[in-house]
Amino acid sequence: MTAPTTETELVALWRQVLRVPDVAPGDNFFELGGDSFRAAQLAGLVGDRLGVPVTPALVFDRPELAGQARWIDDARAAGPSAAAGPATGGGAPLSTQQEDFLYWMFESEPVRDIGSCATAIRIRDAFDVAVLTRALEAVIARHEPLRSVVTASGEVVVADELPPEVAEAVAEGRTPQERERDAERIVWHERMRLDDVLRGPLVRALVVRLGEDDHVLVLAVHHFAFDGFSLGVMLRELGIVYSALRTGYPSPLRPLPMSYADYCAFTREQWPRNQVYWDQVLEGAPRELTPFPGRRETTLFSRRRHAFEIDAELAGRLRETARARGATTFMAVAACWTWLLRQWTGMTDLVVMSPVPGRTAPEHETLIGCLVQSLILRLDASGDPSYGELVDRVREVSVGAVAHQFHAYQDARLRVPFPSRIHYESFGAPHFPGLMSEAFPFPREQEGLEWGANPGEVDLSAPELIVEEQRDGSMLAAVVYNHYGYDPATAAELAGVFQEYVRAAVAGPDSPLPPLPVRHTGVEACQG
């Protein structure tokens, strides 16, 4: 039997990571749906399966499959190298993000609450709440983080059982429209509920009945145990278990290929290897964005959002502009936000934090927990770069950060406690697998969630940018800000300027980006 070629082996890895049926040697990784997260996954698989340790830079520098295969062949010819596969065995039960959460929760009085990750789904189908409860219990029993509670002394305890909280409500109204409005009211109040981080349960569900075979499911999981990517895993498993139980069959889910404790142990093994990189990145980095026009001094923090939309046509042009530079859409968005921050603050040394899923191997994708990794991007906005040049800078920094994404975030947060943040999400609209379902509108921010600054300190946070890819090609976005520290008008102006920079970027990527448009809020208010 003829041994498989590197190209053939690589085709199988591309198909696994990109989930596409066919791949040709001339295909481009990013044109088939790849991004920086999948590039990290491919790099891990190349090291594990082909025995050639690589970083995601291979994918960005050689996006075509044939070019990657030639590079791997050359690396093999240069000498043998051992792949570093995931470690197994015992290990700490907390991820780096959970360790930082734990430290942050207890560094002030009273104990801070992180809040929950939540979604709302409209189910236009027969729906059995008792079966839902059993399915939730099965998923909780399967995933240790969903049974991990924090004690009053700051210890984390894994309970043998931790049942979910499941409740029902009925939307009132004489017409379907009235009942839908009442359901929106109920969902809003459910989203605003705060959990007791020291008690549990960590998982709660509310089923709102609008009519026969018409329901809204609100599902919330405490953020200490959960991240955004886990929501998709949880809904998939819920759908599978629910369908089996409803028809009288046991759960068909296979055992997890890796435990959460093993995942945490694997990531910790990477920390010392990546520490030199992060020490270099963070050396002398600014602790906050100062001055930030429009910011008031305050010791309290509570999130609010100014939402806006980037239509499908403009978003499509931004994706094409990024692709022409060998960059991802996230990098194109980050370049626009970086230029806004440079113009708004006058700073050219900017630190931006962006979360990534932290799932660099296929077996990580089956886990539920708080696996998210926080990337620190230190960006150079000096000079008068064209938009394309700024994208290149963001690309270089992002590739390096993704390649070293496993690090002790608690250390980085203490060095740079107030970066600006970009949350870029492309998970798709939530639904309940196996049932006629679709997303139902609900608020993203828990407005009653309020934190105090550390004793003797004030809040110096900068507004953050959230961008969510939509199925129609558009982007739902928001500027999220501390409403104690900023007026809504400042957030609205930041959103408007960001959209102007996106339009300028796609109109002339090889021209310098324009200066800040001066209006009647934000900069003028502070400078006066």
CATH classification at residue 466: 3.30.559.30
Bridge partners of 518?
A: none
Q: Which residue, 123, 132, 159, 120, is CA-closest to 143?
A: 159
Strand locations in 223-280 (E): none
Last residue of one domain, picked from the residues 212, 247, 282: 247
- Whether 523 maps to a domain, the answer reads no
pLDDT computed for residue 198 by the predictor: 67
Cβ proximity of 436 and 123 under 8 Å: yes
Strand locations in 53-127 (E): 116-123
Residues 72 and 121 in one domain: no
Residues 341 and 469 in one domain: yes
Last residue of one domain, picked from the residues 56, 78, 100: 78
Cβ proximity of 22 and 11 under 8 Å: no
Helix pair 36-50, 387-403: axis angle to 10 deg: 40
Q: 247 burial class (0-12, 13-18, 19+ CB within 10 angstroms)?
A: exposed
Alpha-carbon span 386 to 43, nearest angstrom: 30
Residues 413 and 489 in one domain: yes
Q: Which residue, 460, 495, 428, is CA-closest to 289?
A: 460
- Whether 195 maps to a domain, the answer reads yes
Residues 290 and 415 in one domain: yes
Q: Which residue, 389, 382, 294, is CA-closest to 335?
A: 389
Structure tokens at 94: 């907390």
Structure tokens at 38: 């999948």
Structure tokens at 68: 């990657």
Bridge partners of 220?
A: 118, 204
- All residues at 6 or more sequence positions from 3 whose CB lies less than 8 Å from its CB, including other chains: none
CATH classification at residue 37: 1.10.1200.10
Give the distance, in angstroms, between the CA of residue 40 and the centroid of all CA atoms in the same chain.
Answer: 15
From first to last of the 528 residues of the chain, give the pLDDT tens digit.
466 888 888 888 888 888 888 888 888 888 888 877 678 778 878 877 788 877 777 887 788 888 898 888 878 777 643 333 322 222 336 899 998 998 888 887 788 889 999 999 999 999 999 999 999 999 999 999 999 988 877 788 888 899 999 999 999 999 999 999 999 999 999 999 987 666 778 999 999 999 999 999 999 999 999 999 999 999 999 999 999 999 999 999 999 999 999 999 999 899 999 999 999 999 999 999 999 999 999 999 999 999 999 999 999 999 999 999 999 999 999 999 999 999 999 999 999 999 999 999 999 999 999 999 999 999 999 998 999 999 999 999 999 999 999 998 988 998 999 999 999 988 778 999 999 999 999 998 999 899 999 888 999 999 999 999 998 999 999 999 999 999 999 999 999 999 999 999 999 888 888 887 755 344 443 332
Residues 163 and 130 in one domain: yes
pLDDT computed for residue 518 by the predictor: 58
Q: 294 burial class (0-12, 13-18, 19+ CB within 10 angstroms)?
A: buried
Last residue of one domain, picked from the residues 182, 212, 247: 247
Residues 315 and 216 in one domain: no
- Whether 100 maps to a domain, the answer reads no
What's the total number of domains in the chain? 3
Q: Which residue, 507, 425, 494, is CA-closest to 462?
A: 494
Residues 310 and 390 in one domain: yes
Task: Give the Cβ contact number of residue 309 at 10 Å.
Answer: 14
**Helix or strand holding residue 496 (H, E):** helix 488-507
pLDDT computed for residue 73 by the predictor: 85
Alpha-carbon span 214 to 90, nearest angstrom: 46
- Whether 89 maps to a domain, the answer reads no
CATH classification at residue 175: 3.30.559.10
**Helix or strand holding residue 210 (H, E):** strand 203-211
- Whether 513 maps to a domain, the answer reads no
The single residue listed with the structure tokens 């819920």 is 238
Q: What are phi and psi of 463, to 5 degrees?
A: -55, 150
Residue 269 exposure: Cα atoms within 13 Å on the Cβ side: 14
Structure tokens at 255: 């055992």
Alpha-carbon span 397 to 470, nearest angstrom: 26
28 DSSP 8-state letter? B
- Whether 88 maps to a domain, the answer reads no
Alpha-carbon span 177 to 18, nearest angstrom: 41
Alpha-carbon span 352 to 337, nearest angstrom: 9
Alpha-carbon span 129 to 210, nearest angstrom: 14
* Bond from prior residue into 110 cis (ω within 30 degrees of 0): yes
The single residue listed with the structure tokens 């809904």 is 235
Residues 294 and 183 in one domain: no
DSSP secondary structure, 427-475, as one string: ------TTSSEEE----SS-TT--EEPPTT----PPPEEEEEE-TTS-E
Give the distance, in angstroms, between the CA of residue 389 and the centroid of all CA atoms in the same chain.
Answer: 26
- All residues at 6 or more sequence positions from 87 whose CB lies less than 8 Å from its CB, including other chains: 262, 265, 266, 269
Residues 367 and 227 in one domain: no
Structure tokens at 264: 């945490």
Bridge partners of 352?
A: 377, 420
Q: Which domain holds residue 240?
A: 113-247
Residues 337 and 404 in one domain: yes
DSSP secondary structure, 340-389, as one string: HHHHHH--SEEEEEEEE----SGGGGG--S---EEEEEEEE--S--BHHH
Task: Give the Cβ contact number of residue 212 at 10 Å.
Answer: 7
Residues 48 and 14 in one domain: yes
Residues 380 and 450 in one domain: yes
Structure tokens at 459: 């809040």
147 DSSP 8-state letter? G
Alpha-carbon span 417 to 282, nearest angstrom: 12
- Whether 394 maps to a domain, the answer reads yes
- Whether 474 maps to a domain, the answer reads yes
* Bond from prior residue into 441 cis (ω within 30 degrees of 0): no
